[in-house]
Amino acid sequence: MKAVVKTKRAKGLSFVKMPDPVIGPREVLIKVNIASICGTDVHIYDWTRWAQHRLSPPRILGHEFVGTVAEVGEEVAVVKVGDCVSAESHLTCGHCYQCNNGNAEVCRNFKLLGVDHDGTFAEFFVLPEHVLWKNGSDIPLEWATIQEPFGNAVDTVMVEDVAAKTVLILGAGPIGLFAAGIARACGASLVIVSDPNDYRLAISKKMGAHAAVNPRKEDVVGLVMEATKNRGVDVVLEFSGNNQALNQGLKVITPGGRISILGIYERRVNIDLNKDVIFKKVRIYGITGRKIFSTWYKTSRFLSTGMVNPCPVITHRFPLKDYEKGMKLMKDGKCGKVILAVSS
């Protein structure tokens, strides 16, 4: 089979022939229909510091997908050949303290699909049955493939109620853009998106943002304070992984407000913990992955009912062999979500 593979410890990827995978008794062979590119894949392509310390080649990339069950192991009990599936990318152990206490997304022994386990940028791949999600016919295939990152946005927005609250979103990558639509669907009274990319700011308006701010051209703090009548925002959602953006968010958050952080930082961050957090009684949530599987149910309902339409975020489509075009668009910031057609 053909696959996109990190073959060596250097920048770049290869589109090569790989052996067909073999399933175990509790595993499922999946024929990939559509996959999508994530920022994690770009990190691995560029062989960033994070990737160098996290991944050991060779590895097939990818963790966002929709596919069809092609074969099941003899102990598989729920899914069957022909089912349309996606999957949780955190391959959990199911028996550690975190898994047994409702926090499987931070499983001590988890393996990340496309990083520790061969991923979805291939014609076929194998997963254990317990991480699979059966898709209904009421969600289009392209929407089904973005459920994993959409779920990141769901958890970041909904860790606390946002109804009738003012929200600042820092970072308009695909997850931040999904978050704008989710916040509006959940009843936020004001949604402001901040990002230095005008292309993505335009998408944020299509996703329901009331205002879009470019921090390279405008005073984010001043504009947010004006829009909130000098009260500050109730909620900050941090997707950028940028220290300056984080500090802007902490400055404009109202005392007693909350900030949810999904962005990943390349270096240690510098914040005034006393002034901007402790004495303001700000609640900070670190978000990783999704709640397994409660967030998947929420995601499915948002999409199947039309509460959130992700179409403005899905901007480009390529066959798998043209993955380089998608990677370039991602790095240049000239896209939303990039879809890769793997098989029909």
Q: Tell me the pLDDT tens digit for each residue of 44-69.
A: 999 998 899 999 999 999 999 999 99
pLDDT digits (tens, 9 = 90+) for 16-46: 999 999 999 999 999 999 999 999 999 999 9
Residues 12 and 126 in one domain: yes
Classify residue 293: in a domain, yes or no: no
Write the CATH number for 216. Answer: 3.40.50.720
Q: How far apart are CA 208 and CA 187, in angstroms?
A: 11
Dmax (CA) of the chain: 63
Q: Does the pLDDT value for residue 105 go beyond 80? A: yes
Residues 130 and 186 in one domain: no
Residues 96 and 142 in one domain: yes
What is the count of structural domains for the chain?
Answer: 2
Residues 208 and 274 in one domain: yes
Classify residue 22: in a domain, yes or no: yes
Residue 259: what residue type?
I
Classify residue 302: in a domain, yes or no: no
Per-residue model confidence (pLDDT) at position 266: 83
Per-residue model confidence (pLDDT) at position 256: 98
Classify residue 82: in a domain, yes or no: yes
pLDDT digits (tens, 9 = 90+) for 112-168: 999 999 999 999 999 999 999 999 999 999 999 999 999 999 999 999 999 999 999
Mean pLDDT, rounded, for 169-195: 98
Residues 85 and 178 in one domain: no
- Set 40, 92, 120, 254: catalytic member: 40
Q: Does the pLDDT value for residue 247 go beyond 90? A: yes
Mean pLDDT, rounded, for 9-18: 97
Q: What is the mean pLDDT of the chain?
A: 97
Per-residue model confidence (pLDDT) at position 133: 98
Residues 113 and 169 in one domain: no
Q: Does the pLDDT value for residue 344 go beyond 80? A: no
pLDDT digits (tens, 9 = 90+) for 259-314: 999 998 988 999 999 999 999 999 999 999 999 999 999 999 999 999 999 999 99
Residues 256 and 320 in one domain: no
**Catalytic annotation present for 40:** yes
Residues 55 and 121 in one domain: yes
Q: How far apart are CA 339 and CA 36, in angstroms?
A: 4
- Set 43, 63, 90, 117: catalytic member: 43
Classify residue 177: in a domain, yes or no: yes
Classify residue 306: in a domain, yes or no: no
**Catalytic annotation present for 130:** no
How far apart, in Å, are the Cα atoms of 102 and each of 90, 262, 290?
14, 20, 12
Residue 234: what residue type?
D
SS3 28: strand
Classify residue 303: in a domain, yes or no: no
Residue where a domain terminates, one of 248, 267, 286: 286
Q: Does the pLDDT value for residue 244 go beyond 80? A: yes
Residues 124 and 26 in one domain: yes
SS3 116: coil
Residues 214 and 248 in one domain: yes
The partner residues of 69 in beta bridges, in order of sequence, read 30
Domain of residue 20: give its range: 2-146+313-341
Residues 191 and 57 in one domain: no
Write the CATH number for 24. Answer: 3.90.180.10
Per-residue model confidence (pLDDT) at position 261: 98
pTM greater than the 0.85 cutoff: yes
Residues 6 and 138 in one domain: yes
Classify residue 210: in a domain, yes or no: yes
Helix (H) or strand (E) holding 341: strand 337-341
pLDDT band at 213 (very low <50, low <70, confident <90, very high): very high
Per-residue model confidence (pLDDT) at position 146: 98
